Structures are given as C-alpha cells and as structure tokens.
Amino acid sequence: MSGAHTHRHGGATTCIEIDLGDARIIIDAGSGIADLGRVAIGNPKPTLLLMTHLHWDHVLGFPHFAPLYTPGWSLDIRGVPRDGTGVLDAMNNISKPPLFPVDLRVAAAAQVSTENLPSTGTTVFHGAEIAWMPVAHPGGCTAFWFQLGGFKIIFTGDLELRQTDLGALHSFAQNADLLICDAQYTEQEYLRYTGWGHSTNLDAAALAVATGAKRLLLTHHDPRRSDDEIDTMVADARQMFAHTEAARDGLTVSGSF
C-alpha cells in the first residue's frame, strides 16, 4: 500500500523487468507494471511477460500497461495454468467490463500472443536462457531462473520455503548473482500465517546462504509494512547473509548482460 510510510520502498505489487537490450522480459503484472509501461512506452521492443502465478496482486496491473494500447508493440505472455485457468483467460477475465471499462480484446493495439507453460521447462528468449520449476504456494507458483552472459538471476515468485522441496530448489537456484526472494513475513508473523504461502526474511537469507547467492533482494513486502519495518527486516537478514537489500519501486540492478 502507498502512503507516507512507504515513500522509500514504494507500495506497488510484483513486477520485475529484465532489460536484454534488444528485448525485455517482464515477470508478473502487479501494479508496478503501470509505471513500467509509462517508462517503456517510447521504446517498443519484443517483450516476454512471464507469470509466476495468477493471484490478484500479480495480475492487477495488466490492463493498466499502456503499451497494450499502442501500435508497434508485441507482447508474448506465458505462464502455467492455475486451477484450470490459462494465462489468456486470466488476462481477458480481468480486462473487460465490469472489472475494466473496455474489453482489452477489442481495445488492444499491440500484438499479443499467449502460451501456457508446463510446470517445469527451459527456453531461450533473445539470448537469455530461462528455466522454471514449481514452488510451494496455495494454487501453485513458478520460480524462474535466468542466465545471460554468465549473470544468473533467480526469482522465487511467491513461495513458502518451509513447505518447499528444498533439495530441488537448492540445485535449481545455485550460485545466483542476484536472488530475489519472497520475504513477506517476520518470524513472529509466520507463526500466525503458516500455510499462507509466503516466507520470512530469515528463510530468504538462509536460501541465499545455502545456494551460494552473491546478492539477495527481499521482496513481496507485506501490504501493511512500513519503510522502517522493512529496514529492520533487512538488518535482521543481514545477520545471516550480509549482502541483503529490500526490493523497492524503481530499483535498478546492473549486471554483466
């Protein structure tokens, strides 16, 4: 949530861009994709939108992504179907009346294609190697692995590490240059929200240690979390893994892409 207490970290829900130079990958269409669209609109290039899952906080920005209404854009949306709903149906369902003033299927000017993914797999997009695997989250979620030019990024998506097959995840997530991990809860909160599908800041730090990550970004901040509380969670995580920071709106990380 946005407000005076979130001015430093922002209040947007999940949306991450990986700029490949001649193309871009976007992960999830949370409210952050609206700002991304405003920045990117003058720079159309092939865009792959990968969906970790279809929970509301990860799709709600989609109809507000301005490039959808802009000729010259092409958008390839891929994700694993959830509860029998594929990515195309999910996006169409939220982008039409009564939830949205126009029907995106009529209003869209961009070239949009969609593809349902199997639960695990690999692909290549404009030179970026991509792999994915399922993680523990109510209704399912996908963690993504990216590599380009030797730089590895892992994004866990929403996951409850204490309900996840850690052996499989640890081998999947080895030696990331950048590990972006769900850290919604404090240890104290987790006692109350066990089974809700999210991890703690210390779970994320332990994953960074176990997988040999170089840098950890805590993300999926609880909607009620203030900047100061996030700072405390980062400080606590740094006791276990020193190179920990909090994801925030507009944060840019440079790699050797």
- Binding footprint of Zn ion on the chain (CB under 5 A): 55, 57, 158
Closest residue to Zn ion, based on beta-carbon distance: 55
Q: What is the DSSP string of 121-144?
A: EEEEETTEEEEEEEE-STT-EEEE
Q: How far is the CB of 183 from Zn ion (least distance, A)?
A: 12
**Tokens 């792959």 found at:** 48
Compute the distance between CA of residue 172 and CA of residue 181 in angstroms, rounded to an integer: 14
Pick between residue 24 and residue 55 the one whose CB is nearest to Zn ion: 55
Pick between residue 77 and residue 108 the one whose CB is nearest to Zn ion: 77
Pick between residue 55 and residue 78 the one whose CB is nearest to Zn ion: 55
Evaluate whether 37 touches 75 at the Cβ level (below 8 Å). Answer: no
Q: How far is the CB of 39 from Zn ion (least distance, A)?
A: 23
Q: How far is the CB of 35 from Zn ion (least distance, A)?
A: 18
Q: How far is the CB of 160 from Zn ion (least distance, A)?
A: 10
Pick between residue 31 and residue 147 the one whose CB is nearest to Zn ion: 31
Pick between residue 22 and residue 83 the one whose CB is nearest to Zn ion: 83
Q: How far is the CB of 27 from Zn ion (least distance, A)?
A: 12
Helix (H, G, I), strand (E, B) or coil at 84: coil
Helix axes 201-211, 227-238, angle to 10 degrees: 40
**Tokens 């209003």 found at:** 107
Compute the distance between CA of residue 232 and CA of residue 109 in angstroms, rounded to an integer: 45
